[in-house]
Amino acid sequence: MQDIFALPIEELQDLFVAAGLKKFRAKQVFQWLYQKSVFDFTAMHNLSKADIAVLQEKFTVLPHSLEILREQNSSDGMTSKLLLGLPDGNSVETVLMHHDYGYSVCVSSQVGCDMHCAFCASGLKGAVRNLTAAEIVAQVYLFNERLREQGAMVSRVVVMGSGEPMLNFDSVLQALDFLHREDTCNMSYRNMTISTCGIIPGIKRLEEQGNPINLAISLHAVKNELRTALMPVNKGYPFVDVLTAAESYSKASGRQITYEYILLKGKNDSPQDAELLSNYLRYKQASVNLIPANPVPEQGFERPSKAAVERFLRILQKNRINATVRKEMGKDIDAACGQLRAKFAKEQEQK
C-alpha cells in the first residue's frame, strides 16, 4: 500500500487514475486531507462506497497511521506535546502552542539528533534517520485535525524540535513549501522559522532559495572554547563564521535573525558574557531570545536565578540589542526538546 500524504495534487491524480479512479476524485480527497484535516477515507462523505473500498485497499494516509505513544498537556491549557510512533517503530515529538495571535507547532526534522549539544536531550542517543517531508507535514496536520472542531488551524510552524533541520534540508524545505500552498495551509513563509545550530552550507542554501523564511541560530555562547564544549558543531562551523552567514541571509531575505541563547547557571550567564554577546551582535539585524535552561537531569545543568536572567537582559538592552526572555510554555510537561522521547525510551528499556 502506498502512502499518499503530502503528495502534490498532480501526483495524486496520476496515482488515482492508475488505480482505476476518476481523476476528479484526487481533488476531492486533496480537499478533505488538507482543507478539512480528515484522514479517514470512510469519513469523506462525497466519495462512493466503491471508491472508498479502492482507496482503503491501495492507499494509506500517514496521520491516520501514526500512534500517539504519549500526550502531555500543560496545566494552563496552552501547550500540548505529543510523542508520535512512526510506522517503522521510531518516534518523534511535536508541540502545539496557543498564543494570543493563534496556534504554532514546533516540529521535529529528524529522529534523534547528531549535534550532541551538552544541554539537550534530543541527541542523547544520536540521530537515527531523517524525517520525510510527509512526516514533517503530518506533525502540523495532526493538530489541525484536533483544532477542526474549533474552526481553527495552525498558522505558524517552527522547525525547532528534535534534529538539525539543515542536515535534512530538502525534506524540510519540501514540507514548508507544501504548507505554503494556497490549497493546503496557505501559510506565509514569514510565519515559518528554521532553527539551526549553525550549519553554514544550509544557511547559504536557504539564502539561495529566496523565500523569506525566518532564521534562528542556536548560539548559546560567544566564547569559542565554551561554545565548542556546549556545542561540538562549533569545531566545524565556528560561531564567528555562522554570524557572517546569518548576516548575509538577513540582508538577502530582509528578515531579522533570532539568536537563541540558553542561559546555564555559572556557564554563560555572567555580565561579561552579556557584554561579549552585545559586542558581536551590535549593528546587526538581530534579536536575542534568552532561554533560562529547562533542567535536563542527564546533563547536570542548572537554571540561573531570576535575578541573573534579568541582569543579563538589562545589559543587552543597555547596549541597544533587541532582546527578550522566552515566554515559558509547557515547563510542567517535559518541555525540553527530546525530553519526552528520552523518558519514554528509558521506560521501555526497563520493562
- Looking at the annotation, which residues are catalytic? 93, 337
Separation CA 96–CA 71 (nearest Å)? 11
163 in a known ligand binding site: yes
Q: Between the CA of residue 351 and those of 104, 122, 342, 344, what are the distances in Å?
A: 35, 22, 15, 11
Hey, what amino acid is at 126?
G
Residue listed under C-alpha cell 483544532: 147
Other C-beta atoms lying within 10 Å of the C-beta of residue 19: 15
Separation CA 258–CA 168 (nearest Å)? 21
Phi, psi of 338 (to 5 degrees): 85, -10
Separation CA 23–CA 18 (nearest Å)? 9
Classify the C-alpha dihedral 206-207-210-212 as positive or negative.
positive
20 in a known ligand binding site: no
116 in a known ligand binding site: no
Residue listed under C-alpha cell 494556497: 182
Cell of 206: 536557504
326: closest CA among 142, 115, 158?
158
Separation CA 27–CA 9 (nearest Å)? 7
260 in a known ligand binding site: no
Separation CA 114–CA 349 (nearest Å)? 21
82 in a known ligand binding site: no
164 in a known ligand binding site: yes
The DSSP annotation for 86-137 comes to: PTTS-EEEEEEEEETTEEEEEE-SEEE-SS--TT-STTTT-EEEEPPHHHHH
275 in a known ligand binding site: no
218 in a known ligand binding site: yes
Binding residues for [4Fe-4S] cluster, as ranges, are 113, 117, 120
Binding residues for S-adenosyl-L-methionine, as ranges, are 163-164, 195, 218-220, 294
Binding residues, as ranges, are 113, 117, 120, 163-164, 195, 218-220, 294
